[in-house]
Amino acid sequence: MTDHFPDVGNMVAPALWTEAQWQAECPPWPRPLDTPEPGYFRLRLVAKGPWCAARIYTYRPRVAGQDHLAAHINGQPADVWRVYTYGRSIDEKHYRALMEQPASNPMQPVSRRKQKET
């Protein structure tokens, strides 16, 4: 099986990628939206904001014997449904790349004009 994802060592600021760049690198695959599943995701916290790394994982509390789901956005606890509903699936390499280069202010919309000038 071939790897459809490039080597992340060559990636520059994936939090600022355009939608076309993401579509080329990480083609979306269908997933059911009614049952959250563990995985890695990217999402924007505001309209036209930078991409943020998110993940959903399972954990087993000490008291209860069942597995539960938890989520993090940029390393901070988050709502599982928010991540699963608004997030787009990515692989672990892209998740780690987003975590290594987080946006300085994920609540600030990104101006493409300013980005092109630099």
pLDDT of 54 strictly over 90:
yes
Asked if the structure places residue 52 within a domain, the reply is yes
pLDDT score recorded for residue 109? 86
Quickly state the pLDDT bin for 63 (edges 50, 70, 90). confident
Asked if the structure places residue 71 within a domain, the reply is yes
Structural domain containing residue 34:
29-117
The domain tally of the chain equals 1
Is this structure's pTM higher than 0.85? Answer: no
Residue 52, judged by CB atoms within 10 A of its CB (0-12, 13-18, 19+), counts as: buried
Asked if the structure places residue 113 within a domain, the reply is yes
Asked if the structure places residue 41 within a domain, the reply is yes
- Positive/negative CA dihedral, 19, 80, 102, 49: positive
> What is the C-alpha to C-alpha distance for residues 82 and 85, in angstroms, rounded to an integer?
5
Asked if the structure places residue 111 within a domain, the reply is yes
